[in-house]
Structure 1
Amino acid sequence: MTRPTPPSERWPTLLAGVADCVEALGGADFEARLLALLREGARIEQCMIFAYDAAEGVDCLLADNARQPRLADRLARLYTEGLFRNDPNYRRLADNALPTLELAPMRAEAMPESYRGSLFAFPDLVDKVALTLREAEGAYTLNLYRGREAGPFDADDLATLDALAPLLASLIRRHYGAPRPAEVRLTPEEEAVLAPLSERERQLCLRLLRGHTLKSAAAELEVALSTAETYRKRAYAKLGIPSKARLIALCRRQ
């Protein structure tokens, strides 16, 4: 097996990767550049980014598995449809005594067997590190996973991720947390994807595509959060997708 490059020798490449991410903020290339940075920095096999809001639950913003691309969608659906409640990190989100930015290795002993079996055993993942970013109204988690080929994260990997954590948090906050005007003209791809939806479903999905949370989209549309949730469920059902991550990917793939 090829020996990993020592962390000290990787830093020039990692900093260049951070610069690439900064350049791509708000654009279609951001997630590809972020994944390239994380693969270089910690040899990850799978990456998930989730956004949490106390009023609406959880949404998947990014789901990627380099070896089994379709598997990432399946795991995101399982998680957002209820398994998130068994995630030890989710149960810690409301603890105000914890730091706003926290890097936590996987705590297998804290996981219910059904949770671990569904999200780790089947995809053959052996280790996880979660970067949690707590905000005033919710949180983000960046979940990074390793498979059997790469093996568990070692001390150098964790040190590298710890050093990158403030930069990663800033990138996630700026890319996903800053809504862009919904009045921006739809791309032809967005037009094609959203065509089967009702007008209100389309308006909601457009705002989700522009970086809104369900809560902020509901406020802009002047509807109750429960009504916005109904629009979202109907839209996702019509499009055959489980999450915002897939909505975004669908618009890019068209």
Structure 2
Amino acid sequence: MSQLELDRGDAATQRALAGLIGAIGDAGFAGGALEALNAPLQAASWSVYRVWRDRTPVLHCSASRGVADTTGDCFRAYQDGLYRRDRSFDRVDAAGAPGHVAVLHMRAEDAPNSDHRERIYRRHRVLERLSAAARDDDGSLLAVNLYHHEHQGPFSGVERERFEAIAPLLMATVKRHLALAERKAPADPREGLQRACPALTARELDVCERLLRGWSHDGIAADLGLSVATVKTYRARAFERLGLHFRSELFARFGGIGAAG
């Protein structure tokens, strides 16, 4: 790599870090951070989620750039049960103590199983994933994932090197943003939803509150004594009132608060 290329890479990395820091605490963090990350490398989408060994995963934020945003659909498939067989983050525990940021690379063909590969990667034309992942003291794992889609081809060696260089600061930035978002969010998610949209009905609040806790549609239906179709109807109505399209937007706006079922 020439000195000119190195200088350009350093400048791009500095722009990315400045953009990431500037987006902390902003309601549009997901989109702004992805835009910033596209200075040192190219990613058509990204997602930030937390997984546990014994609980349903939670999507904190996600966004896409230059492609239809299907990150919410991908995570719903993951949350629907794929996470139970996901061994792609096992290397994190071997890489160091809690808090250590591991950098992982996975191609579609390396997905944990055929269902994972077909329902997330093939269906949505995702080619590769670069992840910065760290285990927290509570046992949960926070994963920051950048994706190349089929039209982009594989991540280049330079892109992977740049991602590895910024991974610790990227993780720190994401954690800081999530901490601020949690501090701003009301302790009671129902209160936050009502404050944002007084027109939400009791049932719409019931459904959104459980979505924020990481519940699946099936779990919500069983808990409320409704059909899955009815739950999805309440969800659609609530999202329309709130001006949302995807579950990821609900989490970005009101904050994921873990899973309860």
Calculate the TM-score normalised by the size of structure 1: 0.71
Partner of 1:180: 183
* Closer, same or farther: CA 204–130 of 1 in aligned 2, 3 Å: same
Distance 2:64 2:54 in 1: 29
Gaps of 5+ in 2: 240-244, 255-261
Spell out structure 1 runs of 4+ moving beyond 6 A: none
Q: How does 1:1-254 map to 2 (within 5 A)?
A: 6=5, 8-90=7-89, 92=90, 96-99=93-96, 100-106=100-106, 108-109=109-110, 111-137=112-138, 138-178=140-180, 179-181=182-184, 182=186, 190-191=196-197, 195-197=200-202, 201=206, 204=209, 214=213, 237=232, 238-240=234-236, 245-248=248-251
Give the drift of 1:149: 2.8
Partner of 1:219: none
Give the drift of 1:200: 7.6
Gaps of 5+ in 1: 209-213, 216-225
Distance 1:53 1:243 in 2: 22
The letter of the residue matching 1:8 is D
* Closer, same or farther: CA 146–97 of 1 in aligned 2, 3 Å: closer
Distance 1:122 1:199 in 2: 30
- State the superposition RMSD in angstroms: 3.8
Give the drift of 1:62: 2.2
Distance 1:48 1:134 in 2: 17
Contact 1:63 1:245 in 2 (8 A): yes
* Closer, same or farther: CA 41–205 of 1 in aligned 2, 3 Å: farther
Could you list the per-position Cα deviations for residues 138-184 of structure 1 after superposition, in whole angstroms to 9, with x for gaps in the alignment?
A: 11111211123321112111110011001111011111245215179
Contact 1:48 1:64 in 2 (8 A): yes
Comparing 49-58 with 73-82, greater Cα deviation is found at 49-58
Contact 1:61 1:244 in 2 (8 A): no
Distance 1:131 1:161 in 2: 9
Distance 1:33 1:248 in 2: 16
Could you list the per-position Cα deviations for residues 58-86 of structure 1 after superposition, in whole angstroms to 9, with x for gaps in the alignment?
A: 01122333344242222121111111223
Distance 2:205 2:151 in 1: 46
Calculate the TM-score normalised by the size of structure 2: 0.70
* Secondary structure of the corresponding residue to residue 42 of structure 1: coil
Distance 1:245 1:124 in 2: 19
Distance 1:86 1:203 in 2: 27
* Closer, same or farther: CA 176–205 of 1 in aligned 2, 3 Å: farther
* Secondary structure of the corresponding residue to residue 44 of structure 1: coil
* Closer, same or farther: CA 27–247 of 1 in aligned 2, 3 Å: same
* Closer, same or farther: CA 110–43 of 1 in aligned 2, 3 Å: closer
The alignment of Structure 1 onto Structure 2 pairs a total of residues equal to: 226
Give the drift of 1:9: 0.2
* Closer, same or farther: CA 197–12 of 1 in aligned 2, 3 Å: farther
Contact 2:35 2:65 in 1 (8 A): no
Give the drift of 1:106: 0.6
Distance 1:115 1:160 in 2: 27
The letter of the residue matching 2:38 is R
